Amino acid sequence: MCEDIQYYTWFGVFTIKNEKVVDYNLFPKDVHKLAELMEERTTTFSGSKTCCIDMVNLAINQGVVNTREEYYNLLQDVMLEVVKNKIRTQWTKDVQIIQAASTIDELDKIINLLQERLNTGYSIHFPEHGMHALKLAELISTYGSRNNIPADHALYEKAISSTGMNLTGQEEQLLQALAANVLHLYKLRGENEDYLNHTLPQFAPNLTSILGANLAARMISLVGSLEKLSEKPASTIQVTGASKALFKHLRKHAPPPKHGIIYQHPLVKNAPYKLRGKTSRALAGKIAISARIDYYNGSLNPQTAQDLKKRIAQIKG
């Protein structure tokens, strides 16, 4: 015979005495609310003994459901909602940051390919233009043929004396359409950069203060998340992004890499060759500290950036 115990189920709380319900409190019969309550409570007895209570009959007797089929259907809906809630909570902000960083990397590749094709095609028509990248795309999108360049433009004299072949109307349209697409990709890239510049200082303020938004996003992207980055030692962070050089060192006994993606940081990139190793180690150490502060605390600590400046000054002598 059981003592008085509180029995917590997914559909209510029951007081059991001598295997009979003497008091109960039913939860609202709403899938979303039941799922939230199920996550908060455990379906166990609070006492040390268990009573042989049939959950299905208990739900039917208390008017929660009318049939066994209805019970299992409701339980299935609640469990599915619990799983959905857990999946939703697993998504963190660094997932979107990684997506934006990867998008920028892929857009850079696409823009470079299309820009090369655009430059080659337009140089056949106007080899003297001397423009590249965004400015060339803007020129072609605005004027098309060199014959449309106005007299007050800096390239007008070169245009009227150009030795390039003439374009047909269809060829001009194709080049302008390609230039318009390149400009659209530049705009999309800028929007993703704006997102990172707005989000990173809030999500990882210390890491951003050390690396800048773009490099911080790429570092998180390479590692997988801010949590994983906070777990990495400085030695691993230093060579993150240099996997090819690292495996070459391990397999073919080539010199070990001094740095990975952090080479893109101005402190490393602009350092004298002999000091890049020390500079990389100093920077990687502060990245490790910054990532841990951001993950476990989240508030900006200006001291980390100041300590890095002092250490770089010591390295330079």
Residue with tokens 């841990």: 292
Burial zone of 186 (CB within 10 Å; 0-12 exposed, 13-18 middle, 19+ buried):
middle
Of 225, 206, 221, give the one whose Cα is nearest residue 291. 206
- Count of H helices and E strands in the chain? 15, 3
Tell me what pLDDT residue 89 has.
75
Tell me what pLDDT residue 44 has.
43
Range list for CATH 1.10.246.90 in the chain: 205-316
Distance of CA 2 to the CA centre of its chain: 54
What digits encode the pLDDT tens for the residues 62-115?
A: 888 888 899 999 999 999 988 888 887 777 788 899 999 999 999 999 999 999
CATH T-level fold of 205-316: Serum Albumin; Chain A, Domain 1 (1.10.246)
Residues 6+ apart with CB under 8 A from 308: 210, 267, 282, 283, 286
Distance of CA 75 to the CA centre of its chain: 35
Task: Give 87's DSSP letter.
Answer: H
Of 251, 249, 230, give the one whose Cα is nearest residue 239. 249
Range list for CATH 3.30.420.220 in the chain: 5-90
- CA–CA separation, 160 and 180 (whole Å): 24
Range list for CATH 1.10.287.4070 in the chain: 93-197
What architecture is the 93-197 domain classified under in CATH? Orthogonal Bundle (1.10)
Tens of pLDDT along the chain (317 residues)? 456 777 778 888 888 777 777 788 888 888 888 888 887 764 443 443 445 577 888 888 888 888 889 999 999 999 998 888 888 777 778 889 999 999 999 999 999 999 999 999 999 999 999 888 899 999 999 999 999 999 999 998 998 998 989 989 999 999 999 999 999 999 999 999 999 999 999 999 999 999 999 999 999 999 999 999 999 999 899 888 877 777 776 787 777 777 788 988 999 999 898 898 899 999 999 999 999 999 998 889 999 989 999 999 998 87
What architecture is the 5-90 domain classified under in CATH? 2-Layer Sandwich (3.30)
pTM: 0.72
Tell me what pLDDT residue 36 has.
85
Q: What residues form DSSP beta bridges with 26?
A: 12
Of 148, 85, 87, give the one whose Cα is nearest residue 122. 148
What digits encode the pLDDT tens for the residues 32-58?
A: 888 888 877 644 434 434 455 778 888
